[in-house]
Structure 1
Amino acid sequence: MSILSRYRLIALFALLILIGGLSMGINHVVFNADYHEFFEINDPQRMKFDEIQDVFGSSDNIMFLLVLASRDVFTEEVFTAIHQLTERAWQIPHSYRVDSLTNYQYS
């Protein structure tokens, strides 16, 4: 008989303790998708990208999706909800542009 099969309950208990101990730090694991993390400060491509963002603005966007119970989207209730969401989106910190069906520029 192998040692693992002889002490299987102890091995299972030790494995559960090991998994529990290792998983306690899982909430500290993060992924930062910011491009600044991938390039050196003096990298020419990073510097050019920062220059473009300074001139034209960044592409940090938030998109909201409304899911309706009915298939009829052209109702006053739906447009009122879109308008209210648009007005509340302006209250998001650092927002400087909100595009919506209710404030779309036609010209």
Structure 2
Amino acid sequence: MENQDFKIGIKMVWFLVMGNFLLTVLGALAKIQDWEFSQLFLTVGLMLFFSTWIIILSDMVKNKIYNKTFWILTMFIIPTIATIFYLIQRNKLLRLGQRFS
């Protein structure tokens, strides 16, 4: 199996990851401050989070990456941090996966 890129483009995935992070943090802060639309921010942020989590997890499963088991387990243990670090390290992991497979 060769390296397959994301179906929607890496820039769009980065936009979704940063958007879900910012909306979730904004929604949590708004909930603490009792803003009127706090539930809307939190709901949209969490929906974006779950959609990007599925996109990145499917990318991990279908590509040959180095330490695939570690990355998939990390997605379940610390999902927010794992998505950002995986996107940063993705090209390096794909090269190492090709070399050591």
Same-fold status (TM-score > 0.5):
no
Structure with the greater alpha carbon radius of gyration: 1
Please report the TM-score for the alignment, with normalisation by the length of structure 2. Answer: 0.28
Please report the TM-score for the alignment, with normalisation by the length of structure 1. Answer: 0.27
Structure with the higher helix share, 1 or 2: 2
